[in-house]
Amino acid sequence: MYGNTYTQIHIHFVFAVKFRQAIINKNWKEDLYKYIAGIIKNNNHKLLAINGFSDHIHILIGIRPAQSISDLMKIIKQDSSKWINANKFSKFHFEWQEGYGAFSYSKSQLATVVNYIQNQELQHKKKTFREEYIDFLEKFDVDYDEKFIFKELI
């Protein structure tokens, strides 16, 4: 770390299974979350919350500026995919969808975001992942093209 550098950066990441297949199984999802938590810790960031649904994951991280967001996401997705495949948790070759969402929050908003992430099962009784993701993009005023929103298997 750099001397005299002090930061407070909180990023909420959202990313999906390739083609949004619902293959994150409740029998191994907690182990997946622990594995991802280890990746985050090994990269010197602080995990604040992790949870998801059968086709996607939400992670809230206190991020250090020594590593780019894109480099961290590449490592998380690459290493967790390898781990899932090595442990044969899926009948099919497991991959994450290309891309991710990254949304920043202030410290005063963290409790609300952590609560939201912890209650994913409840959230998805109300709306689909696609609806949830588009809501994030619109809430944060992010320009997007519908054709690049997480693709589904046709």
Q: How much is the pLDDT for 149?
A: 75
H helix count then E strand count, the chain: 5, 4
DSSP string, 82-124: HHHHHTT-SSS---BPS--EEEEE-GGGHHHHHHHHHTHHHHH
Question: Looking at the domain assignment, is residue 15 inside a domain?
Answer: yes
Could you report the per-residue pLDDT of 90-131, keeping only the tens digit for each?
988 999 999 999 999 999 999 999 999 999 887 777 888 888
Question: Looking at the domain assignment, is residue 100 inside a domain?
Answer: yes
pTM of the prediction?
0.87
pLDDT at residue 85 above 90? yes
Give the span between the Cα atoms of 20 and 29, in whole angstroms. 16
Question: Looking at the domain assignment, is residue 5 inside a domain?
Answer: no
Question: Looking at the domain assignment, is residue 81 inside a domain?
Answer: yes
Q: How much is the pLDDT for 5?
A: 83
4 vs 87, higher pLDDT: 87
* The total number of structural domains that make up the chain: 1
Question: Looking at the domain assignment, is residue 92 inside a domain?
Answer: yes
Question: Looking at the domain assignment, is residue 109 inside a domain?
Answer: yes
CATH number, domain with residue 134: 3.30.70.1290
Could you report the per-residue pLDDT of 9-49, keeping only the tens digit for each?
999 999 999 987 889 999 999 999 999 999 999 999 999 99
Question: Looking at the domain assignment, is residue 68 inside a domain?
Answer: yes
Provide the domain limits for residue 51. 10-148
46 vs 149, higher pLDDT: 46
Please give the single-letter amino acid code of residue 72: L
